[in-house]
């Protein structure tokens, strides 16, 4: 029988979820429809949701990569881009686009806006929620698409799949590389940290909390608990009653955060190849320091932005060159979890 404390915690989380859903519905008024192709979405379509701003350096490959994985339709929110992002997306036949100039931070970093769209368009679909600088890979992704993966998740009664965000970086200084919007950014950012990750299980939402990698090593060595969180749950069979709580790091209801096993076996997981450190990061860091839209307490991260604008080198003698999902599985950063 559940303890009184557990019942009370569940009750509070239920009301928190309802409050977040109501908040998202209110924030939906901030969205303006630019191009709506959602009537073309089939009942079995796999969807991708994203909030973006000035991402023309990544978008062509981002779309190409996830189309190849099997995404059928992209539902995108443009947050006041001025680099041609909105115009480019509006011209893509598998993209529906909304725009807003309201505060990204005040919308829970875009989560409120996306939740409103997912309530309306994502119900019953497998939904992939990503930032434009994230490229999903998983076991066998080079020969088995998301349709095969989600069919297997359905059969094994798994409503969600977790992923580690893996920071990719170049060998030299961040700002001195070559950036081509049409090419695979991993060619410019071929290195990652294979170790130095710390993982704990958060008792309240029962989600995993992973920190480490090059950002913790280079920018948060003195205060590692302030380093960015690297664990995410980007792939979910969506229901209009669901909501993300903190970016895509955790959800409610909290059973969706159970993307791990507790009996010694392994659950299937993916990796989000994080392409933040293209050369444009130098200028973007200066802009984001001024805008203060990406952290709850942006002043605490002033030193982080200053360090990025100084054009650092993240590569070190322990850096590992990326060779594919099999390598990540061998390093324990990705698991097929019984999916063969």
Helices (H), 191-242: 213-219
Name the token pair of 125.
Answer: 């679909």
- At residue 285 the predicted structure's pLDDT band, cuts being 50, 70 and 90, is confident
Taking only the tens place, the pLDDT of each residue in 29-70 is: 999 999 999 999 999 999 999 999 999 999 999 999 999 999
Displacement of CA 248 from its chain's centroid (Å): 6
> Which letter does DSSP use for residue 258 in this model?
-
d(CA 126, CA 42): 12
Location of structure tokens 């001024």: 290
133 vs 287, residue with greater confidence? 133
> Which letter does DSSP use for residue 300 in this model?
G
pTM to 2 decimals? Answer: 0.95
Contact by Cβ (8 Å): 131, 49:
no
d(CA 224, CA 235): 27
d(CA 115, CA 247): 11
Average pLDDT over residues 242-262: 94
Taking only the tens place, the pLDDT of each residue in 180-232 is: 777 899 999 999 999 889 999 999 999 999 999 999 999 988 888 889 999 99
Q: Is 245 helix (H, G, I), strand (E, B) or coil?
A: strand
Q: Is the pLDDT of residue 336 over 70?
A: yes
Nearest of 276, 165, 248 to residue 212 by alpha carbon: 165
Taking only the tens place, the pLDDT of each residue in 302-327 is: 678 788 888 999 999 999 999 999 99
Name the token pair of 197.
Answer: 């990750």
Percent pLDDT > 70 in the chain is 94
Please provide residue 124's backbone torsions phi and psi, each rounded to the nearest 5 degrees. 85, -5
Q: Report pLDDT for 263.
A: 76
Taking only the tens place, the pLDDT of each residue in 73-118 is: 999 999 999 999 999 999 999 999 999 999 999 999 899 999 999 9
Q: Report pLDDT for 115.
A: 97
Helices (H), 54-183: 59-69, 85-90, 111-117, 146-155
A 10 A CB-CB count for 120 gives: 13
Please provide residue 212's backbone torsions phi and psi, each rounded to the nearest 5 degrees. 135, -155
Q: Is 254 helix (H, G, I), strand (E, B) or coil?
A: helix
Name the token pair of 210.
Answer: 């992973």
A 10 A CB-CB count for 290 gives: 10
Contact by Cβ (8 Å): 174, 181:
no
Displacement of CA 193 from its chain's centroid (Å): 19
Location of structure tokens 């933040």: 276
Contact by Cβ (8 Å): 98, 29:
no
1 vs 245, residue with greater confidence? 245
């Amino acid at each position: 029988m559940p303890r009184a404390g557990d019942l009370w915690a569940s009750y509070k989380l239920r009301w928190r979820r309802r409050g977040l859903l109501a908040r998202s519905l209110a924030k939906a008024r901030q969205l303006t429809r630019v191009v709506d192709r959602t009537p073309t979405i089939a009942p079995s379509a796999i969807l991708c949701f994203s909030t973006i701003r000035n991402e023309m350096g990544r978008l062509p490959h981002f779309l190409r990569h996830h189309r190849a994985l099997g995404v059928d339709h992209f539902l995108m929110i443009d947050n006041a881009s001025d680099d041609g992002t909105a115009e480019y997306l509006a011209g893509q036949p598998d993209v529906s686009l909304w725009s807003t100039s309201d505060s990204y931070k005040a919308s829970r970093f875009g989560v409120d806006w996306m939740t409103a769209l997912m309530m309306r368009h994502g119900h019953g679909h497998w939904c992939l929620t990503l930032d434009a600088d994230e490229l999903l890979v998983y076991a066998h992704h080079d020969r088995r698409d998301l349709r095969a993966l989600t069919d297997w998740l359905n059969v094994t009664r798994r409503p969600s799949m977790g992923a580690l965000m893996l920071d990719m970086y170049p060998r030299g200084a961040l700002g001195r590389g070559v950036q081509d919007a049409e090419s695979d950014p991993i060619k410019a950012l071929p290195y990652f940290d294979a170790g130095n990750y710390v993982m704990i299980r958060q008792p309240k939402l029962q989600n995993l909390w992973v920190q480490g990698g090059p950002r913790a090593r280079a920018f948060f060595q003195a205060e590692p608990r302030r380093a960015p969180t690297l664990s995410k749950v980007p792939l979910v069979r969506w229901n209009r009653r669901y909501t993300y709580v903190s970016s895509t790091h955790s959800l409610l209801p909290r059973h969706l955060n159970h993307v791990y096993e507790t009996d010694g076996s392994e659950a299937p997981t993916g990796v989000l190849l994080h392409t933040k450190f293209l050369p444009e990061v130098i200028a973007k860091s200066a802009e984001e320091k001024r805008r203060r839209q990406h952290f709850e307490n942006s002043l605490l991260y002033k030193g982080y932005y200053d360090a990025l604008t100084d054009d650092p080198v993240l590569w070190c003698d322990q850096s590992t060159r990326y060779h594919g999902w099999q390598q990540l599985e061998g390093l324990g950063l990705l698991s097929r979890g019984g999916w063969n």
